């Protein structure tokens, strides 16, 4: 089967460091953190006090006010990012191309906030007072569903739920759709809105969250004093097309997606496989799919959650895959600034990877102060660095043992 080449022509994002791609990228380059004190729940109820919340996000700029009330925030974020991405791509969806335009947007936990609030209503007032929109507001596929409805995209419409790999897997799965010719355009990415009581309770009970009370230093991937991730929220969306479709439209091209690897640890519900064995296989798969040698990779945007095992095993995985080149390779975690956007993380990091290629800038890992002997690679500490980038890898690893790796390349016709 002839595989079609897949390029990225549009990007949209709402994140803790900016509600547009340009604002996000400007802050990422500057090493500016989006972490602050928790405001969306009562932080006194939890052992954690910091999170990476969206600031000044107004859904009514993108969605009719009456519809906003019928959408969980995770859907609102996806709608905003998708509309921005489609506008950025200069894509007009019409009767002719709608059946060949698909949507694939993942979410790790979907409408947890809606579930929480509606359950409280049910407990206090009974089932008659539960919203008839409860189920369609909560289910994780509804971001893809609502985006498809609002844009009139009638192609394949799907949602990948692989915890913190959901955004990367959704992009990879959409990539396969385009490669095999089942669509010409895919609107793909991830979205998450976990700033609610049960999400904080669950992740805190699992001892996954940082207990650092200083918002400026709480997210510190690969640093010896890391103590857990900082929860974030937002959405990242790409417009992906076959090269033929992009050329026909005369679209600008940010880069090409050439490789996708996806594996399972088959090890533990939350802990990564020892030595990052599953992550290594995903990375090798992506390299093989792209036809790229390990030493050709210029930069890796790591999963880098700021948790003990993830950062250590991801470092070991990088050494396993890249061998001696691992020590010449820049690897950074932008979660040091955005926090961990769970199901949206891989999509946001895909956008950051593409911006890095386009501007020749490797974003930093901020808050890197005390080197960990077990994490001994070049994590681009604290300040961005300029370098011509041709090939970038982006990694995402999720609860349940899900591993996803994407390879982006500078577009060369």
Catalytic residues: 164, 303, 340
Map 53-91 to HEC letters: CCCCCCHHHCCCHHHHCCCCHHHHHHHHHHHHHHHHHCC
What DSSP line would sit under 138-172, residue for residue?
HSTTHHHHHHHHHHT--S-EE----GGGHHHHHHH
Query: Which has the closest alpha carbon to 40: 112, 92, 138, 140?
Result: 112
As given in the structure block, the two tokens for residue 323 are 């061998």
CA distances, 81 to each of 205, 245, 273, 363 (Å): 31, 22, 33, 22
- Measured distance CA(237)–CA(89) in Å, rounded: 11
Query: Which has the closest alpha carbon to 185: 140, 141, 235, 249?
Result: 249
- Measured distance CA(11)–CA(391) in Å, rounded: 19
Interhelix angle 197-205/112-125, nearest 10 degrees: 110
Query: Which has the closest alpha carbon to 256: 25, 5, 7?
Result: 7
- Measured distance CA(136)–CA(39) in Å, rounded: 27
- Measured distance CA(106)–CA(113) in Å, rounded: 17
Sign for the CA dihedral angle at 55, 59, 60, 65 comes to negative
Length of the chain: 413
- Measured distance CA(263)–CA(252) in Å, rounded: 32
CA dihedral (133, 138, 140, 145) in degrees, to 10, reads 20
């Amino acid at each position: 089967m002839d595989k079609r080449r897949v390029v990225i022509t549009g990007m949209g994002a709402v994140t803790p460091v900016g509600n547009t791609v340009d604002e996000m990228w400007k802050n990422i380059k500057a090493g500016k953190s989006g972490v602050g004190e928790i405001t969306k729940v009562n932080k006194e109820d939890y052992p954690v006090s910091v999170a990476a919340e969206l600031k000044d996000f107004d859904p009514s700029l993108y969605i009719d006010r009456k519809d906003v009330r019928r959408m969980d925030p995770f859907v609102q974020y996806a709608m905003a990012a998708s509309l921005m991405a489609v506008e950025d791509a200069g894509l007009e969806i019409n009767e002719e191309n709608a059946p060949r335009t698909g949507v694939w947007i993942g979410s790790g936990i979907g409408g947890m906030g809606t579930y929480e609030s509606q359950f409280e209503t049910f407990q206090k007032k009974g089932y008659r007072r539960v919203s008839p929109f409860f189920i369609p507001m909560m289910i994780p596929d509804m971001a893809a569903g609502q985006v498809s409805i609002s844009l009139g995209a009638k192609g394949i419409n799907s949602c990948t739920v692989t915890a913190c790999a959901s955004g990367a897997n959704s992009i990879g799965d959409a990539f396969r759709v385009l490669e095999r010719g089942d669509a010409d355009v895919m609107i793909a990415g991830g979205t998450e809105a976990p700033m609610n009581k049960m999400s904080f309770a669950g992740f805190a009970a699992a001892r996954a969250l940082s207990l650092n009370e200083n918002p400026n230093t709480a997210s510190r991937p690969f640093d010896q004093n890391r103590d857990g991730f900082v929860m974030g929220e937002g959405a990242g969306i790409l417009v992906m097309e076959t090269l033929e479709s992009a050329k026909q439209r005369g679209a600008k091209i940010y880069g090409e997606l050439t490789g996708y690897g996806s594996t399972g640890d088959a090890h533990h519900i939350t802990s990564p496989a020892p030595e990052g064995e599953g992550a290594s296989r995903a990375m090798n798969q992506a390299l093989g799919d792209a036809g790229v040698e390990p030493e050709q990779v210029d930069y890796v945007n790591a999963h880098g959650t700021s948790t003990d095992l993830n950062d250590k095993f991801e470092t070991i995985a990088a050494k396993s895959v890249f061998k001696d080149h691992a020590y010449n390779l820049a690897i950074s975690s932008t979660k040091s600034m955005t926090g961990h956007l769970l199901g949206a993380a891989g999509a946001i990091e895909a956008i950051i990877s593409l911006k890095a290629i386009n501007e020749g800038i490797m974003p930093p890992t901020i808050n890197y102060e005390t080197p960990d002997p077990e994490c001994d690679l070049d994590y681009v500490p604290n300040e961005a660095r300029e370098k011509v980038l041709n090939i970038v890898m982006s990694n995402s690893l999720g609860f349940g043992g899900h591993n996803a790796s994407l390879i982006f390349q500078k577009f060369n016709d």
